[in-house]
Amino acid sequence: MSEYVSTGCAEIDDLLGGGFERGAVTQIYGPPAAGKTNLALSGAVEVAAAGESALYIDTEGLSADRMEQIAGARADETDETLADLAERIVVSEALDFEDQEVAVQDAAELASQVELIVLDSATGFYRLERDDGDGGEALRDVARQITHLLSLARKHDLAVAVTNQVFADPDSDGTRALGGHTLNHWSGAIVRLDRFRGGNRRATLEKHRAKAAGDTVQFRITEAGLAGGQDRSLD
């Protein structure tokens, strides 16, 4: 069995040394519309296309149409149908922070049956809790969720991908990942996604257990999923 689970995008797989690493948490963060959910969903579909199962914990309202687009396009490349792939992706919907905590804990029940667990997003509800003045305890709760998923990854040799949001950092005059050092500590790999020039995207490796940080690749979001390189017609 491969040490990695493919993201469905060859360029990002290369950036990560092969894809989402088994036994570790890969954090994907960036501003809105940067492609975080598309990357996480692409990985889940890739697992399904390989005949395995994935668990997708959704806190932001996953688009069924988008899932059908990506899974349908991938199914067309196999001998299976959209329904075949879709039934291998278990979607657990969380409507609030308590739901998210329960869904993450319940992941233990399926961990032995899946190759990838996605938490999309880890910090959406945390941001609301923080804005209400209870950020410290909420961040500790998120950290406990990440460490729980990490323990499942190590125990069952599966990959975990979590998406994360950004906040404006006045010290650097830019944006940084929510949760700071607390979440970064438990992430084996960290990838920042950015959108630029007409919808093209850039993925930057900020942390990796076996590669130097700083490498970047460009990719695009298409109707069928993710594609490498830059569409220069969009410049």
Query: CA-CA distance, 143 to 139, in Å (whole number)?
Result: 6
Q: Tell me the average pLDDT across 174-182.
A: 86
Comparison of pLDDT for 118 and 127, the residue scoring more: 118
Peptide bond into 121 cis (omega under 30): yes
pLDDT in tens, 209-221: 889 899 999 999 9
**pLDDT tens readout for residues 57-105:** 999 999 999 999 999 999 999 999 999 999 999 999 999 999 999 999 9
- Please provide residue 31's backbone torsions phi and psi, each rounded to the nearest 5 degrees: -70, 170
**Type of residue numbered 123:** T
Average pLDDT, integer, range 127-156: 84
C-alpha 111/C-alpha 134 separation (Å) is: 31
pLDDT (0 to 100) of residue 234: 38
Task: Please report where in the chains the tokens 């607390």 appear, as a residue.
Answer: 182
Nearest to 158 by CA among 113, 203, 202, 195: 113
CA distances, 139 to each of 71, 80, 122, 144, 164 (Å): 33, 42, 10, 9, 12
How far apart, in whole angstroms, are the C-alpha atoms of residue 143 and residue 182?
Answer: 7
All residues at 6 or more sequence positions from 11 whose CB lies less than 8 Å from its CB, including other chains: 203, 217, 218, 219, 228, 229
Mind listing the pLDDT tens digit for each residue in 56-66? 999 999 999 99
Position 201 confidence tier, pLDDT thresholds 50, 70, 90: very high
In the predicted structure, residue 226 carries a pLDDT above the cut 70: yes
* Contact present, 97 and 129 (Cβ < 8 Å): yes
Q: What are the two backbone dihedrals, phi and then psi, of residue 166, each rounded to the nearest 5 degrees?
A: -120, 165
Tokens 């890739």 sit on residue = 46
* Identity of the amino acid at 175: T
Largest CA distance in the chain: 53
In this structure, what token pair is assigned to residue 116?
Answer: 């990838």
Residue-wise pLDDT for 153-163, tens only, equals 999 999 999 99
pTM over 0.85: yes
Between strands 20-21 and 4-5, the pairing is antiparallel
Could you tell me whether strands 166-169 and 174-177 are parallel, antiparallel, or unpaired per DSSP bridges? antiparallel
pLDDT band at 129 (very low <50, low <70, confident <90, very high): low
